[in-house]
Structure 1
Amino acid sequence: MSEIQAKSTVIFHFDITLADGSAAESTRVHNKPAKLQMGDGSLSPAFEAQLLGMSAGEKKSFTLAPEDAYGMPNPDNIYYVDRSKFSADAPAKVGAIIGFAMPDGSELPGLVRDVVGDSVTVDFNHPLAGQTLTFNVEIVQVS
């Protein structure tokens, strides 16, 4: 049985819960496990360290501080956008998550934090930034 090594490809299910116990994200909802190439930088070294040595079928639960999960919110990722840039399809409403077109054609989701007059505060930080998170992982396959 192969164990997860520094360069393994890992297919796994995960559930993320917030400090208050509420569910934040889960691959089980649509039964689509995540795929990770260890060491590619897509997940934090602290997250990868938790997976090392695990094998298919194993389950584990661990908690990561914000710095080891999605990082701390970056004030540079908060923008003030003129209300005229919003449409009826995507109104400037506090709590709304709206996709903004980037110059390269990709779309970046932003969370509307505040609306004052014609100024809309949009936060482009990851929604889980700044949160202490508990991960429940189940390894499906290791190659």
Structure 2
Amino acid sequence: MQVDKNKVVSFHYSVGADGEPVDSSRDRGQPLEVLIGHGGIIPGLENALAGRAVGDRFQVSVPPAEAYGERQEGSIQRVPKKYFQNVQQLRPGSVTALGLREGGHRQVTVVKVGTTVIDVDVNHPLAGRTLDFDIEITAIRDATPEEIAHRHVHGPGHAH
């Protein structure tokens, strides 16, 4: 079986940017599982996975345009503290998740912490950086109809 749209792919990865390590699934001991073709991972990585098979191990560099985009200067927003978790731990330079009105979260970098608001840079922390991945595909399976309808992988036993 090969990686294609509507397949669930499990893979281990290590990613770095500008020669410094950023993240690794091996540190958590579990591969990442993604539903291909539904925007769950950056486009450059999804394209690099296409057509691969279980056991394939490869490296790929993903430019900003196929990852988190170029940095947009002046993308600072002032946000009420109620939209953040663990506010008392936030400091300038902290990367945190910002709760969105429409649901979900967005990674932002804290610029300034005020009394009732926090100024954040809404660029993704990896915007403007080329990402270097080391990938090992560990499993591929057909997605369930529910996963396709919901546009994401469900948990163990494929429960939502």
Q: Which residue pairs with 1:142 in the alignment?
A: 140
CA displacement at 1:103 relative to structure 2:
3.5
CA displacement at 1:56 relative to structure 2:
1.0
Q: Is the 8 A contact 2:109 2:120 kept in 1?
A: yes
Quick one: distance in 2 between partners of 1:75 and 1:106? 24
CA displacement at 1:74 relative to structure 2:
4.0
Q: Which residue pairs with 1:65 in the alignment?
A: 63
Instruction: Give CA deviations for 1:4-33 in whole Å, capped at 9, x if unaligned.
Output: 2233211111111112x1101111111121
Shift in CA distance, 41/100, structure 1 to aligned 2, threshold 3 Å: closer
Is the counterpart of residue 3 in structure 1 residue 2 in structure 2?
yes
CA displacement at 1:76 relative to structure 2:
7.5
Q: Which residue pairs with 2:50 in the alignment?
A: 52
Q: Which residue pairs with 2:27 in the alignment?
A: 29
CA displacement at 1:138 relative to structure 2:
0.5
Given residue 20 of structure 2, which amino acid in structure 1 is its aligned partner?
S
Given residue 126 of structure 2, which amino acid in structure 1 is its aligned partner?
L
**Structure with more of its chain in helix, by fraction:** 2
- Structure 2, unaligned stretches of length 5 or more? 142-160
Quick one: distance in 1 between partners of 2:69 and 2:48? 17
- Structure 1, unaligned stretches of length 5 or more? none
Q: Is the 8 A contact 1:90 1:98 kept in 2?
A: no
Task: Provide the aligned C-alpha RMSD in A.
Answer: 3.2
Q: Which residue pairs with 2:38 in the alignment?
A: 40
Number of matched pairs? 140
